[in-house]
Amino acid sequence: MAPRLGEVEKNLKRHLLFIEKAQKKGAQLIVFPELSLTGYTLMDLVPEVAIDPSNSPALDRLKAASRGIDVVFGFMMETTKGIYHNAAGYLSGGKIIHVHRKVFLPTGGMFEEAKFFARGRGFEAFATRFGRAGMMVCRDFLSLASSYLLFAGGAEYIIVISAAPGRGMSERPGFATTRMWELMGEAVSYFCTTFVIYCNRVGFEDGKAFGGGSFVFDPTGRSLFKASELDEELALVDLEPGAIRAARTKWTFKRDDEPEIVLRSLARIVRDDED
């Protein structure tokens, strides 16, 4: 979708419309892009559109809608007065199941996130009715460590919501930057033996073109779906949960993982850097 900048009520109505359409088509999970409730280039609008998850009429309406379908969406979160996070929420059964706060905030060039947002402090896999899942927001996905942390935490589904710009031309149709995200999706899905669901926004905002190109990879690194880079789209993709067991039986990356070794090595690296 192409959210409207700063117009929470209009964006909420469009969420509810997409949710209704998805339910009618039999979907069990719907994923919206980064900051889908607010638009991306918020800057001074941040305090006006931020919501407290514990007390938000807009979120209450989305929670009600999640009684029939699980919902992943992007929003500006305020839980401490004056502290704002770019966040992803997972709703199911009328409740908030999990909230992820964006950790890696691009700041430089066209990006200004650290000027307005506080940084999240970690990555956590959580239980859903489909299995364990983990979420990231845009730039989080370009850190190899982010996917590993969710993998080590038992994630079977990695869900990435994004507002990535489309930049450059390539020999293939579409934006050159799209390939970067697809390469990461293919690699992560294969080596983490997880489904990777990546939802990127489309449209234009404040002179910026967003790259669309949402995709899904299965736990063997096989592409299941690729969306348009320009147009809004509601697409249904079938995920077969049995594919996770089959992939992890064939490729034993999960069985052979040693997070304790990673932890000790990282502790040494951090200690050496401090020295």
pLDDT of 173: 65
pLDDT of 248: 97
- Here the tokens at position 129 are 């009715």
pLDDT of 176: 76
Report yes or no on 168 lying in a domain.
yes
pLDDT of 172: 65
Domain CATH number, residue 96: 3.60.110.10
pLDDT of 177: 82
Report yes or no on 177 lying in a domain.
yes
Report yes or no on 197 lying in a domain.
yes
Number of domains in the chain: 1
Report yes or no on 113 lying in a domain.
yes
- Here the tokens at position 237 are 């993709």
pLDDT of 58: 94
Report yes or no on 65 lying in a domain.
yes
Report yes or no on 2 lying in a domain.
no
Taking the CA atoms of residue 13, residue 14, residue 15 and residue 17 in that order, the dihedral angle to the nearest 10 degrees is 90
Contact by Cβ (8 Å): 214, 202:
no
The one-character DSSP state at 60 is: H
- Indicate if the alpha-carbon torsion angle 209, 136, 81, 94 is positive or negative: positive
- How far apart CA 16 and CA 22 sit, in angstroms, is 10
Per-residue pLDDT 10s for the chain (275 aa) are 999 999 999 999 999 999 999 999 999 999 999 999 999 999 999 999 999 998 999 999 999 999 999 999 999 999 889 999 999 999 999 999 999 999 999 988 778 899 999 999 999 999 999 999 999 999 999 999 999 999 999 999 999 999 999 777 666 666 778 889 999 999 999 999 999 999 999 999 988 899 999 999 999 999 999 998 889 999 999 999 999 999 999 999 999 999 999 999 999 999 998 77
Report yes or no on 220 lying in a domain.
yes
Domain that holds residue 42: 8-274
